[in-house]
Amino acid sequence: MIIEGCMTSHAVTPLPPLVLDHPLIKHKLTHLRRAETSTAGFRRLVRELSLLMCYEATRELPLEPIEIQTPLEPMQGEQLAGPDVCFISILRAGNGLLDGMLDLVPFAPVGHIGLYRDPETLEAVEYYLKLPSQVSSRRCIVVDPMLATGHSAAAAITRLKEKGARKLLFTCLLSTPEGIACLQKAHPDVQIMTCSIDRGLDEHSYIVPGLGDAGDRLFGTR
């Protein structure tokens, strides 16, 4: 299935990207970028960064009161209100961000969407889609390390909306002005959360200065 990427959406003022600037994120992202970082080190850093990103990505989850008993007395606490969140990984590199997020929200269901870019048309082609139930009522946190051209991200979110998803957040480690503009044009209602807006794209559509191919560095492939 071929999915259109940056289609013009209805006239809505796009949500500005949220750039996470915590010192720990900046520190870990710097070491993630280093060419000499090993595969094991790269995976560890991605997991640690995903933990920090998940903390911000889940900030607006609803709570409900619950009566509990402490060792000293009863009290009213708060807990997450029902199965309100799920994670959607854009294969394959998105899976690298899942582990840390699931450490924090282990009960969240996970969906996967597989896309590849046709080398001639540059259109996103879907080869796999498996989503959790009740996706229309959940807050869907879409994960992919890189927002480069934005075409795959836009196509993935288009497909999720076709399946009923309405509350969507796109999270990535690195982004570019081109990718942000593409995703905002197609889906101005979707918030982008990123750790860095890099300079742009090179002639091969790689993010610069970037960190290389996130999937290859995660899985030790070339």
Residue 118: what pLDDT? 74
Type and span of the H or E element at 60: none
Residue 3: what pLDDT? 54
What's the mean pLDDT in 61-82? 94
Output the pTM of the full model.
0.90
Q: Which domains does the chain have, with CATH numbers?
A: 16-60+84-203 (3.40.50.2020)
What's the mean pLDDT in 109-113? 95
51 Cβ partners below 8 Å, 6+ apart? Answer: 100, 101, 103, 104
Per-residue H/E/C for 161-185? HHCCCCEEEEEEEEECHHHHHHHHH
Residue 10: what pLDDT? 56
CA gap 81, 102 in Å, rounded: 17
Residue 219 identity:
F
Annotated binding site for 5-phospho-alpha-D-ribose 1-diphosphate: 92, 117, 144-152, 213
Q: What are phi and psi of 50, to 5 degrees?
A: -65, -30
3-state class of 87 per DSSP? strand
pLDDT, tens digit (0-9, with 9 covering 90-100), for 137-186: 899 999 999 999 999 999 999 999 999 999 999 999 999 999 999 999 99
Annotated binding site: 92, 117, 144-152, 207, 212-214
37 Cβ partners below 8 Å, 6+ apart? Answer: 31, 45, 217
CA gap 129, 127 in Å, rounded: 7
Would you place residue 2 in the very low, low, confident or very high pLDDT band (cuts 50, 70, 90)? very low
pLDDT, tens digit (0-9, with 9 covering 90-100), for 195-210: 999 999 999 889 999 9
End-to-end CA distance of the chain: 26
Annotated binding site for uracil: 207, 212-214
